[in-house]
Amino acid sequence: MGLRIYLDGKFVDEPDAKVSVFDHGFLYGDGVFEGIRAYHNSVFRLKDHVDRLYDSAKAINLEIPISKEEMSNVIVDTCRQNELKDAYIRAVVSRGKGDLGLDPKKCNIATVVCIASSITLYPDETYTNGLTVITVPTRRNGPEGVNPRIKSLNYLNNIMAKIEANIAGVPEAILLNQEGYVAECTGDNIFMVKNGVLKTPAIHLGMLEGVTRNEVIKLAQKNGIPVEETTFTRYDLFVADEVFLTGTAAELIPVTKIDGRVIGDGKPGPVFATLLNEFRELVKEPEGPEAVIFK
């Protein structure tokens, strides 16, 4: 049995989940999306993800034709339709069908899609041994263009960096901003530890404010680990005691080599281990009633 996918007000079988070739999400990458996780029969941080989806839509002047409450129900119902208690969920809103011109006014109503399935970004052993990553020439697009805080369907900036990682034979790449400061990776936020202090790039440097990122900051504070949202360069990563990445799909994953430099002692560090354990305990906690998949 194939997936059941939400498309514009109804659930359809995967082969029937089709959008027009005139949809501006397809033609121009004009739209927004969210990647969301369900754990143990509950959608994790559903409200935070839905709020960010609607913030992204507002930033590009895209009207989502259903309310936040309805969107939340769609996300949970998509898991139910596919009998998934643990899942990776993708909610997508595109500008909708228009013509071959750029003008969004030609698109009468947005297209809304929700998919629930599974995703594995990294092999299990990388959580034990750590990732090797590189810094790539492609820079993070700045807030004066397509602001990285908008989780838009136009992901070419990230994809170009991913291509460079693929060419180098590594699974992930670090993007710097236009000033040369560390911003984020192609699909993850980045953290470093130095002398017991957990540091992550500040939002204004040009990055997506990750839901998992924010949870990790809270968990660190709860465990008495000092946290700084700040500015740092590749040099700071090279000489860090620990480096790790965070993301909805990846959760927390350690980095043990960057641009040929071994990080710390070449093994995942104690701060990472503490926060990973705390995060995995956190996702076992049920969310509110609106996020529970099966009653």
Task: Give pLDDT tens digits for 96-112.
Answer: 999 999 999 999 999 99
**Mean pLDDT for the stretch of residues 153-182:** 97
**Mean pLDDT for the stretch of residues 18-43:** 97
Q: What is the pTM of this model?
A: 0.95
Tell me: pLDDT of 1 over 90. Answer: no
The CA distance from 94 to 30, in Å, is 6
Domain annotation for the chain: domains and CATH numbers: 4-118 (3.30.470.10), 125-282 (3.20.10.10)
| Positions marked catalytic | 151
The fraction of the chain above a pLDDT of 70, given in percent, is 100
